[in-house]
Amino acid sequence: MKPDDPLLRILACPLDKGPLALLHSDEALYNPRLRLRYPILDGIPQLLPSSGEQVGAEEHLLLLARHPAAAAASRWEP
């Protein structure tokens, strides 16, 4: 998956239905509001609620600093 993939505009977190940020280096999608990382396996996002991996506070801050899209997604409101 690439940052300009049109699929990124329609993918949403299965829990809060908000936008996800692509963590290209980790091959994952990230929901900064819930601090959940969803893996991308063989190019397919694993967006089942049970697939989300909780991210700790320190790693969350690092992800926000490294990925501007994650910081933008953190300000989303339904």
CATH code of the domain containing 49: 2.20.25.10
| Residue-number span of the structural domain to which 66 is assigned | 7-73
Q: Residue 2 pLDDT > 80, yes or no?
A: no
Whether residue 49 lies inside any domain: the answer is yes
Q: Return d(Cα 61, Cα 51) in angstroms, integer.
A: 21
Compute the average pLDDT of residues 35-63: 95
Give 71 or 33, the one with higher predicted confidence.
Answer: 33
pLDDT digits (tens, 9 = 90+) for 19-46: 999 997 779 999 999 999 999 999 899 9
Number of domains in the chain: 1
pLDDT at position 26: 74
Residues 45-57 as b/e (b if ≥16 CB within 10 A, e otherwise) read: bebeeeebeebee
Whether residue 1 lies inside any domain: the answer is no
* pTM across the whole model: 0.88
